[in-house]
Amino acid sequence: MSRARSICFVVACTLIGQVNLAASADEQGSTNTIEEITVMATRAERNLQDVPAAVSVLTQDQIQRGRQRLGLDESLNRVPGVFSQNRYNFARDLRLAIRGFGARANFGIRGVKIYADGIPATMADGQSGVDDIDLGSIARMEVTRGPASSLYGASSGGVINLFTEDAPEQPFVETRVSLGAYDHQNYQLKAGGRADKLNYLLSATHLSYDGYRDNARAEASQLNSKFRYDFDATSDLTVVLNLVNSPTAQDPGAVTLNDLSTDRRQAQPRNLSSNSGEALDQQKVGFVYNRSIGKRHSISVRNYYLWRDFEAFLPIGSHIRFVPDDGVVEFDRFFWGGGVQYAFSDLLFGKPNALILGVDAEIQEDDRQRFVNDAGVRGALTFDQREQAEAVGVFLRNEFSPADNVTLIVGLRYDRVELAVRDRFLANADQSGRIEFDELSPTAGVVLELNPNASVYATYATAFETPTFTELAVPARNLDVSLGGFNNVNAQDAESFEVGLRGSFFGQRLYLDIAAFTMEVDDEITSVSNIGNRSFFENADTQRNGVEAYATLELAAGLRLSAAYTYSDFQFDRFDSNIEFDGNSLPGLPDHQLFAELEYQHPSGVYVVADVLHVDELYGNNANSVRSDSYTVANLRAGAALRFGSWQVEPFVGVNNLFSESYMSDVRINGFGGRLFEPAPKRNAYGGISVRFDVR
């Protein structure tokens, strides 16, 4: 810890020195102030300069313009501290990690809270999904990097807030068609406008994709809509409706390095014989009501409901004793919840003070069955249980400014999470059980404004994460699923100390965002093995130190250079069941990651964007005995937004993996039999056109 704290101290002193030098240059060369950016990272609208945490903001152009729109990672690569994998396997979903949280996930997203328009895409058990994220209607993305449980509760090692576009005053209709390699087809129809007090936006999309590898086809249709009704200047109600139908998302599986040398595009034979893949149907509706009461008080109320029908054919088991071939998973899910938040701003001891109080509550009910996967056909029932997760959290946060350029922040949250299982398949004994987690999550921070354009901060933050139902399965060393009850996997707890700088310098031509942190994670929920179609987990202590830097430089009119660098030193401190792993690097995470982008936009609407991503080598297992090589991938996209009266036409083209680099799209941590690797496509192209008509 002493070495890590010393690193943070040195970085902090260096940053302050650089700020003072840059501030002098600003004072001599420009009287402009930084463009105000407001964020919702603190669950209330705040100037980014006043937030004592690493927060990145992505704009609509960075998310949408000229993108192929296969995954969130297309734009998230520019965010330091974020590592993404698995864009091309829709059956496993995007694998997303923030400062290492989420790297262990075999499917879906763990350890990271995701919200869309204030409605959670993270379930009560901590599992997040991005099936219902409509990339074609996102206006802004905020990424909070690092522990945030004092505000967001369990599984908040990082937070991603997504915001759908607000329709303009002028009604519009827009259509977009994108076609690409491997029979990629993406169609969108979007419309919006304002009718008196109602602001509305609707977006319908359809995706079809054969995939680079065999058995990788995906098909999905989606409707995303947002309606906001402004009762008056002080209150509004937003209604969000999202429908998703994905009848096909095949899984080609992971292969060995030897398999890759013979055929990069092959699917795992067991995945072919098992008809491996998934299908889902989901509906979600959410309500958010906001009201200001005078100048000092405001209240926000949210309520949401989700229904999900899911079926997955997993590769059949390996016929190991006690592990049945229950490779068909089905569940019906009902998830609902809500929350109330109150904010009060006034003077305390004659100085500005802002207080936030809130409560969140949600319930997840899964009716889950497993069946034998009989060569791709559903067989006999092997598992039948009712699962329920309940989560309740109460939080407060106070921001006090004892001086004009100083803000002090303290926060505290109490959470109770209960997981319960009622077993209805008793042939292998009653495995019903109930487990409860109680956590207290504090935070404290200070922000020092050095000049109107820049600030530094220091913060102490915490996060905790409960295991999911599947992570509570009996440990791999026992393999006896007839034991019943829960495995003794504890909730993990993280404590982080961080210092950072953000601001604009040299006449606002340069923007910098730099953070350094040290973190201890106790009882980290860790994947220990994959056997058959099951993964098993235990607890281990880890230590994480890192530096994250992002910079944007205006080189000339319309020409911008951006870069993001991440250094991660993540290691096991203690691994009771495998002490030989102590000191090993955490698998699935590179030590170094560098992203750079050169963007040119002409006043005529023509744009060209070139980017490159370098990812260091990473380990594929806890033993650090298998590695995935480093890689460097370059991409190029270009287009033109052309205006013709009420019409806007935007043709675009793009090339992914410009130099045809051989690299891994995903590495399955601790994969059985050396089957860890999912290769990414070589050079491939796409193109399309969007046409928009503004109704006058």
What would the pLDDT profile of 328-340 be if each residue is shown by its tens digit? Answer: 999 999 999 999 9
pTM over 0.95: no
At 16-42, the pLDDT tens digits run: 444 443 444 344 333 333 457 888 989
At 110-119, the pLDDT tens digits run: 999 999 999 9
pLDDT at 319: 44
CA angle 493, 363, 148 (to 5 degrees): 30
Pairing relationship of beta strands 113-116 and 158-164 according to DSSP bridges: parallel
At 346-403, the pLDDT tens digits run: 999 999 999 999 999 999 999 999 999 988 999 999 989 999 999 999 999 999 999 9
Maximum distance among all alpha carbons in the chain? 79
Give the number of other CB atoms < 10 A from CB of residue 679. Answer: 22
User: Which of 669, 694, 668, 663 minimizes the C-alpha distance to 681?
Assistant: 663
User: What stretch of H or E contains 196?
Assistant: none
| Distance, C-alpha 692 to centroid of its chain | 30
| Distance, C-alpha 312 to centroid of its chain | 23
At 308-330, the pLDDT tens digits run: 999 999 987 544 444 456 789 99
How many Å apart are CA 570 and CA 527, to the nearest integer? Answer: 15
450 versus 318: the higher-pLDDT residue is: 450
Lowest mean pLDDT among 5-9, 125-129, 156-160, 433-437: 5-9
Contact 595, 611 (CB under 8 A): yes
The enclosing domain of 140 has a CATH number of 2.40.170.20
Contact 413, 149 (CB under 8 A): yes
pLDDT at 487: 65
Give the number of other CB atoms < 10 A from CB of residue 221. Answer: 15
pLDDT at 308: 97
How many Å apart are CA 421 and CA 664, to the nearest integer? Answer: 37
Classify 42 in phi/psi space as left (phi over 0), alpha (psi -120 to 50) or beta: alpha
pLDDT at 16: 42
pLDDT over threshold 50, residue 154? yes
pLDDT at 53: 95
Stretch 409-413: mean pLDDT, rounded?
Answer: 98
pLDDT over threshold 80, residue 556? yes
pLDDT over threshold 80, residue 404? yes
Percent of the chain with pLDDT over 70: 90
Which structural domain range is residue 658 located in? 2-694
pLDDT at 325: 64
CA angle 398, 402, 406 (to 5 degrees): 85
pLDDT over threshold 60, residue 482? no
Counted domains in the chain:
1
Amino acid at 540: A
| Residue 650, token pair as written in the block | 């935007």
Stretch 70-80: mean pLDDT, rounded?
Answer: 94
How many Å apart are CA 268 and CA 679, to the nearest integer? Answer: 12
339 versus 468: the higher-pLDDT residue is: 339
